[in-house]
Chains A and B, each alone.
Chain A
Amino acid sequence: MNRVVVVGASAAGLTTAEALRREGYAGGITVVGAEVHLPYDRPPLSKQILSGEWEPDRLPLRPAADVDALGLDLRLGVTATGVDTAARTVATDTGEQLAYDALVVATGVRPRRLPGATAHVLRTQQDALALRERLRPGRRLAVVGAGFLGAEVTAVARGLGCEVTLIEPASVPLAHAVGAVVGEVLSRAHVEHGVDLRTGVGVVAVHPEGVELADSTMVEADDVLTAIGSVPNTEWLEGSGLPVADGLVCDATCRAAPGVYGAGDVARWDHPSFGVSMRIEHRTNASEQGLAVARNLLSPDAPRPFAPVPYFWSDQYEMKVQAYGYLRGHDAVEIVEGDLAERRFVAAYRTADRLAGVLTVGMPPRVLRTWRNAVAGGAPWRDVVAGPGGLAVV
């Protein structure tokens, strides 16, 4: 094998390329990236970049010299338009056909949009800078979608003195992800910080003067941000025969077809210890999966299942939210340490009879690591509800 093509030049793509080199692969690596920038980090976009604490020069994932040292054929500002798995070539919008022995699909996701007038979204450096330019004291910002991204932007915009209306169709923000009890606690912080929180009301369309809600009211705003989730970038795979269903469908080793692998936000794979097909849009997963793909790509006869403990964090006001495991589809939630009202707690999530994940706010690292290990070990729920003493046996 002498030619690896990685499509996608963000965290997953770059990590894959780095790991290939570290594992001793000396052949060609072509990395195709739709954006013109050197690979950069996205979580700070809704945090330090939006708040003005950082300028974009802090965003690159690695110094330019470190990227150079990898000896990549780096094609930035180039979009892959198709793949021929029989001929093993990737077509680009520059009219090239890039031949590969192994292909890594790491094209990520793009923001879902609402019908109507143009609204801000937040995925790229340009998106963040365009929104930041508009956030001034007294400006009115409407945020559609109170998920983690919408919540972070709301918190930053309040910090900058904007009037913020946060609109969420569900009756409790984040309830589908973290449960109603935790969702309620997190959303209360917005209200305490002077946000006009509108829940349980759908959005019809974005207009130049604001957001039209399903109850016929209009939320007037100078700017609108839609933060209503993402769509995997898989259109370029159409007609290739590669399996696509809300992401590139991979097996437990992140392989989608012979010589084709998926990594990062775009990849769906069978998680061996959770027993579900998952696609995770967490920053941490992008790197971990890139690493796993690089190793499996180089050892096709002895691939290893990719079995991470998913992790995400979110910074909102004074709160740092951190979660381990797979919370989606949980059967029950229990507060097992701390106090909800003080926003200092560990919430444990049960799926069937095991601990599937934990979400914590304001807890010290030692506590987090204990719970992470319990999630990693698939602790039985009866040990979890027995308290910390019960977990000691894990």
Chain B
Amino acid sequence: MTFHVELDEPRCVASGQCAVVAPDVFDQRDDDGVAVILDESPADDLLDDVREAVAICPAAALRLVEG
């Protein structure tokens, strides 16, 4: 089973919470802090961190989708 990460960029509030809990998968743009996905199809060992990032994103801007 594979997963990919989706970011609804206009929702992002640049909190950077995702980059804190899953730094291998998320970063932030230098100019405005908006999230950047480094790895759209993270390996299994990163999925727990990604799920945590999805859960705590204060803008509900992230989704982890199967397939």
Contact = CB atoms under 8 A, between A and B. Distances in A.
B55 A287 contact: yes
A290 B17 CA distance: 16
B13 A43 contact: yes
A284 B17 CA distance: 9
Contact of A313 (B11, B15, B63): B15
Interface string A326-362: 0000000000000000000000000000000000000
A284 B55 contact: no
A365 B19 contact: yes
Contact of B58 (A22, A284, A365): A284
B43 interface: no
B51 interface: yes
Contact of A322 (B15, B19, B20, B52): B15
Secondary structure call for the A interface: helix
A365 B56 contact: no
A291 interface: yes
Nearest to B13: A313
Interface stretch (A80-88, A246-254, A366-374): A366-374
A369 B59 contact: no
Given A22-B51, A43-B13, A291-B52, A283 B30 contact: no
Nearest to A287: B56
A284 B15 contact: yes
Interface of B: 11, 13-17, 19-20, 28-31, 33, 51-52, 55-60, 63
7 nearest A-B residue pairs (beta carbon): A365-B28, A284-B58, A61-B60, A365-B33, A283-B58, A287-B56, A288-B56
Interface of A: 15, 18-19, 22, 41, 43, 58, 61-62, 66, 282-284, 287-288, 290-291, 311, 313, 320, 322, 364-366, 368-369, 372
21 contacts: A22-B51, A41-B60, A43-B59, A61-B60, A283-B58, A284-B17, A284-B56, A287-B56, A287-B58, A291-B52, A291-B56, A311-B17, A311-B58, A313-B14, A364-B30, A364-B31, A364-B33, A365-B14, A365-B16, A369-B19, A369-B20
